[in-house]
Every structure is written in structure tokens, then in C-alpha cells.
Amino acid sequence: MNELSVTVGKPCRPFRENVPYARRARRTQAVERLKLPSDQISNLPFVVVGAIALWQFGRDRASFVLFLGIFLTGFGSAYYHWNPKNDTLFWDRLPMALTFMAILALAAEERLGTRTGAILLWPLLALAVFSLLLWRWTDDLRLYGWVQFFPCIALPLLFVARPSKYSGTSYWLIAAALYALAKLCEFYDHAIYSIGFILSGHTLKHFAAAGACLAILRYFQTRRPIS
């Protein structure tokens, strides 16, 4: 759930005559917080990592979608932080959802077989797009929630159950740890921002998530086939 809807969705305060003003004030404050210049500029690492990765490894279909997703996340997220609302949030979420689905297809390709990964790629991407369209049409985020949650369950299971045909699994573990750190920074956004009012937790979230993308790029650069 995005920060705006969390803020707007909070219960009313006891002084009812102040509610509309208080709610408006909180909403304005939340929107302004999302428009921090650091929250926009900190998307640049996604563009850089994505561009390098596309140039080096963009020939395979799953890795092309994966790195294009990372590249476009930089633009989608900066666009959202420039003008935070549901219309722009769609473009923030879309490349991220495609990236997650491509990671899942890639893991299936490397651990279950090339054909399995190739068969899964397009339905997974279609599911990601549909979950976001459903959210825009009906305001229901549950399917999108599952699209985010499912890889968090499926990937560890796949990693434990099946060996990869490539070396370098430790880079995926580093990426997972950095992604968890990004989620932590997002959770403590306000607390981190209140320390000096320079960097928000959300800015650090962007850096940690881009670090996870860099770990994935390093995996591609260093992996070797396991015979």
C-alpha cells in the first residue's frame, strides 16, 4: 500500500470539527514528503545499473525483461516522486512488478529447465500487468499483493529445492538481503528522516534496492556454468 492511502486511511481524531483540516494537512504533508528531491534523484542508480546490464546481458528474453524493468523503474519511480498520485504510482509499480516476474522466470529457467522458464515468462508478465490494471479499475490491491508476495515464497523454495546450473548463488542472497534492508528503510522512513532532515528512509530504500540490482548484475558478470 502506498504512503498516501495509508495516511488518508487512518482513523479520525476525536475533535471532529478538525478532521477535514487535519486530514488535508496530513495528506498534503505526505504528498510533500514523497516529492523530496533526494527521493527523485536516488532513482538514478536503477537507470545506470539497468543500462549497463541491458547492454551486457540483454540478449536473453528473461534477462532482457529483468534489466529493462530495473532501467524503467528508475524513470517510473522518479516520475511518481515528482508528482505523487495513483496515476503515476501505476508507472512506478509496473516495471517493478515485471522485474519480479522476470526474476521468477529466470530462477525457473536456471533451476527447473530452460523450457519451463521460457513457458512461465509470458504468463507471469501478463499476471503482473493484469494485477496492476485490476488495481486501477477496482481499487483492489489484493492480486498485486499476491504478485509481490508469491516470489518471496517461491524463490527461496526453488533455491533450496533445486541446484542452479550456474555458480554465484551468493549474489542472489546478497540481493535478497539488500531488498530486505530496502523494506526496512521504507518502514522506518519517517524515523530516519527525522535524524537531521536530510535523507529519508525512502531515499535509502532506493539506494538499497539499487544495490540489490547491482548484486544481480554482478551475478550475471561472474556466473559460470556448473558441469
Q: Which residues bind Zn ion (CB under 5 A)?
A: 77
Smallest gap from Cβ 124 to Zn ion, in A, equals 23
Amino acid symbol at 128: A
- Residue with the CB atom nearest Zn ion in the bound state: 77
Say whether 166 sits in a helix, a strand or coil.
Answer: strand
DSSP letter at 60? S
Q: How many CB atoms lie within 10 A of CB 109?
A: 23
Q: How far apart are CA 137 and CA 129, in angstroms?
A: 12
Smallest gap from Cβ 206 to Zn ion, in A, equals 6
Say whether 225 sits in a helix, a strand or coil.
Answer: strand
Q: What secondary structure does DSSP assign to 70-118, as a single string?
A: HHHHHHHHHHHHHS-SHHHHHHHHHHHHHHHHHHHHHHHHHHT-HHHHH
Smaller CB separation from Zn ion, 145 or 156: 145
Smallest gap from Cβ 182 to Zn ion, in A, equals 10
Smaller CB separation from Zn ion, 34 or 105: 34
Smallest gap from Cβ 134 to Zn ion, in A, equals 22
Smaller CB separation from Zn ion, 77 or 88: 77
Smaller CB separation from Zn ion, 109 or 186: 186
**CA of 192: how far to CAs of 47, 196, 200, 207, 209, in Å?**
25, 8, 6, 14, 17
Smallest gap from Cβ 101 to Zn ion, in A, equals 20
Nearest CA-CA partner of 62 in 191, 181, 220:
220
Smaller CB separation from Zn ion, 77 or 131: 77
